[in-house]
Amino acid sequence: MSEKRTSIHGQWTSRTVFILAATGSAVGLGNIWKFPYITGENGGGTFVLVYLLCIAFIGLPIMMAEIMLGRRGKQSPINTMIALAKDEHRNPNWKWLGWMGVIAGFLILSYYSVIAGWATSYIFRTGGGMFVGVTADGANRIFTDLVSDPERLLAWHTIFMVMTMIIVSRGVKNGLEKAVTLLMPLLFGLLVLLVIYATTTGYFMDGIRFLFTPGTIDGKGILIAMGHAFFTLSLGMGAIMVYGSYLSEDYSIAQAAIWIALADTVVALLAGMAIFPIVFANGLEPGAGPGLIFQTLPIAFGHMEGGTLVGVLFFTLLLFAAWTSAISLIEPAVAYLVENRGVSRIHAAVWVGAATWTMGLGTVFSFNIWQDKTISIPFLFENLTFFDTLDYLTANIMLPLGGLFIAIFAAWVMREESAKEELATYPKMYSVWRFLVRYITPVAVIVVFLKAVGAI
C-alpha cells in the first residue's frame, strides 16, 4: 500500500459538496441547449435511451477512474500523474496526460468565457425589455449587433473572467465550496421554476412527446449520443481529477460518480422539459441549435405573458451553469502554480485568469474583425475560425484522448491492488467497473475519436 497523501489545498467538507461541485463542472451551456435539440434530431426517446446507456457504460467508468486518480494523487492533474507513475514504477511521461487535461481546460475556458458573457449580457437585455414584441429579424439583429462589436464582447468576457477568478482565488472551502453550495441549488431551483412555467403554456405534453417518444436512430445518432455522454460529464479536462483530489478517503467514489451522472442527466432532461413547451407554444423551430438560446427563445420571451421575468430567469440559469463549469476549468492550472511555483492562490488565479482572458481575445475577434481569418490543419480540418479551431481541437481531439488514456492508466497501467484500495467498497461493483474500463470503454472512446476526426 502506498503512503497516503494530503492535499495542500484542503478538502471538501462532505460528499454532498463534492457531488455539487463535480455536477457544477459537468452541467454547462451544453446541457441547457445542446442535449434537447440533438435529442429531437436523433430519435427522441430512443436517443435518450442510448444516451443513458452510454452514460452507464462509458461515462461512469471513466468518471470513477478520473476521480480515483485524483484522490490517490491529491495534487493538480500534472503532479498527480507524476506521483502515480512513480508509485506504479511506470514511465514518467504519463505526466503529459495531466498536462493535456490542464491545457484543454485552459483552452475551453478561454472561449467558454466569451459565450458566458453573451448569456450575462442577455440577462440585462431581457430585464430591460429589449425583447418585448421583438420580431425574428429584430432578435437576429440584436444578437448580431452584440457579437459584431468587439468592445462589448470584450467587456462581458472580462466581467465573467473576473467573477471566475474571484471564486477560485478564495480556495477550496471559502471559494469553490461556498460557490457551488449556493449556485447549484439555485440552478436546480431556476430549472424547476421554468418547468413549472412550461406546464402553463398548454404545450407541455408536446414537449414531453418531443423528448421521449421512441423514434428511429441510425449509426450517426448512436455516435452522437456516445460522444455527448462522454463530454457532458466534463471528463478528460483535469476538472474531475482535481476535484477528486479534494475528496476524503471516507467517501465512496462509485456512489459519488453515480449521483453526479444522475444529476447531470436530470438537468439536461429538465432543460428540455422547460424549453420545448415554450418553443412549441410560440411556433418556433425546436432544432435551431445554438440559435435557440440567443436568437429564437428571445422571440418567445418577448411575446409571452410574464416573458421578461421568465427570460431573466432563463439567462440567469445559463450564467450559473457557465460559472460553475468555469471555476472547475481554471482550478487545475491554479492548483499546479500553487504547488510548483510557491505562489498564493490569489496570485495564481490572477495569472491563470489573465492568460485565459488573453487567449479569449481570439474568440472575441472570431465573430467580428477576424471572422474572415481561418486556420487549416492537414487531415483534420480546413478554414475554421480561431474559435472553431479551439472548439474542434478540444472537443474532438484532446478530451477523447484524455478520457482514453485515463481508462488505460487506471485499468492497464495501475496495479489492481492500487485501484482496489480506492474503489473496492463494493466488490461486485468494482468487478463490473474493471471489466468496463478495461475492455468496453476504451473501444467506445476510440470509435468516437475516429468518427470525430473523420477516420470512419
Highest mean pLDDT among 27-41, 261-275, 278-292, 349-363: 349-363
Question: Which residue is listed with cell 468494482?
Answer: 430
How many domains does the chain fold into? 1
Would residue 421 count as lying in a domain?
yes
Highest mean pLDDT among 4-8, 108-112, 353-357: 353-357
pLDDT classification of 1: cutoffs 50, 70, 90: very low
pLDDT tops 70 at residue 135: yes
Of 38, 52, 42, 11, the closest CA to residue 264 belongs to: 52
Would residue 5 count as lying in a domain?
no
Amino acid identity of 15?
Answer: R
Would residue 3 count as lying in a domain?
no
Backbone angles phi, psi at 324, to 5 degrees: -65, -30
Residue range 64-116, pLDDT digits in tens: 999 999 999 999 999 999 999 999 999 999 999 999 999 999 999 999 999 99
Give me the domain span that covers residue 56: 15-452
Would residue 7 count as lying in a domain?
no
Backbone angles phi, psi at 246, to 5 degrees: -100, 10
Q: Say whether pTM exceeds 0.85.
A: yes
CATH of the domain at 25: 1.10.4160
C-alpha cell at 348: 495564481
Q: Is 82:91 a contact under the CB 8 Å cutoff?
A: no
d(CA 176, CA 185): 14
d(CA 192, CA 196): 6
C-alpha cell at 329: 476549468
Would residue 118 count as lying in a domain?
yes
Would residue 10 count as lying in a domain?
no
d(CA 353, CA 144): 27
pLDDT of residue 383: 83
- Give residue 185's Cα distance to chain centre: 17
Is residue 53 packed enough to be buried (19+ CB in 10 Å), middle (13-18) or exposed (0-12)? Answer: middle
Q: Is 81:94 a contact under the CB 8 Å cutoff?
A: yes
Would residue 311 count as lying in a domain?
yes
Would residue 202 count as lying in a domain?
yes
